[in-house]
Amino acid sequence: MSRFASAETARISLATSSRLLLTIVGAASLAACAQSPVGRQRADLAPATRQATIVRPHRVAALHPRPIYRPHRSSDTASAKPTASHGVASFYSDTETASGEKFDKNELTAAHPSLPFGTRLRVTDVSSGRFVTVRVNDRGPFVRGRVVDISPSAAEALGMVDKGVANVRLDVVQ
C-alpha cells in the first residue's frame, strides 16, 4: 500500500470515528432529555387505569392585558329560583341510579342531567295539563332533545305510557 493510500485511509477512518462519536453524543443528550425530572413527575402522577388523561394548560391572570370583568350579582338574582324549562320527557327503567339508590319503578323519581340529587320537580304535560311532582335521583336522559326521564309510575300519572314521550314543562318545587 502506498503512503498516499494509507494517509487517505487514516483520514477516512478519522472522519468515520468522529461521526460515530457525534452520533453517540447526540443520542446520549436526547436520552437525557427524555428522562428529565418533569417527564418522571408526569409518569408518577399518571392514573393507574388505561384511560387517556387530558392535560390542559394553566391560565395565568398576570398575562391578561386587562382584568377579567365579572359582573356583580345582586342578592336578588342569587336567591332566585331557576326558571321553568320546556322540552320532551320520556320514561325509563334501570337497576341502579347514579345517586346509588336502587331503582324503584313505583316511586315518583326522575333523571335530570344537571339538577342536584333530591331536587323536587313539577313535571307538567303541556297538552293535557296533568302534572306530577318527582324527586331527582339519577342522571340522564342521554338522548338529544330530551330534558328529563321519569319513572314508569310518574309516566302513568301523566298519562304518557302509551305515547312514550310527552312535551313537558319543568318547574323546580324545592
Q: Which residue ranges of the chain lie beneath pLDDT 70?
A: 1-12, 33-83, 174
Using the CB atoms, write b or e for 102-140: b if 16+ within 10 Å: ebeeeebbbbbeebeeebebbbbbeeeeebbebbbbbbb
Q: Counting every residue, how long is the chain?
A: 174
User: Vertex 158, ends 153 and 162: CA angle to 5°?
Assistant: 80
The three grid cell numbers given for residue 154, joined into one nine-digit string? 310518574
pLDDT of residue 77: 47
Q: How far is CA 33 from CA 21, 26, 36, 78, 111, in A?
A: 19, 11, 5, 51, 50
pLDDT of residue 78: 47
How many beta carbons lie within 10 A of that of residue 1, not counting itself? 7
pLDDT of residue 2: 62
* DSSP one-letter code for 102: B
pLDDT in tens, 103-134: 898 999 999 999 999 999 999 999 999 999 99
Long-range pairs, 60-68, Cβ under 8 A, ≥24 = none
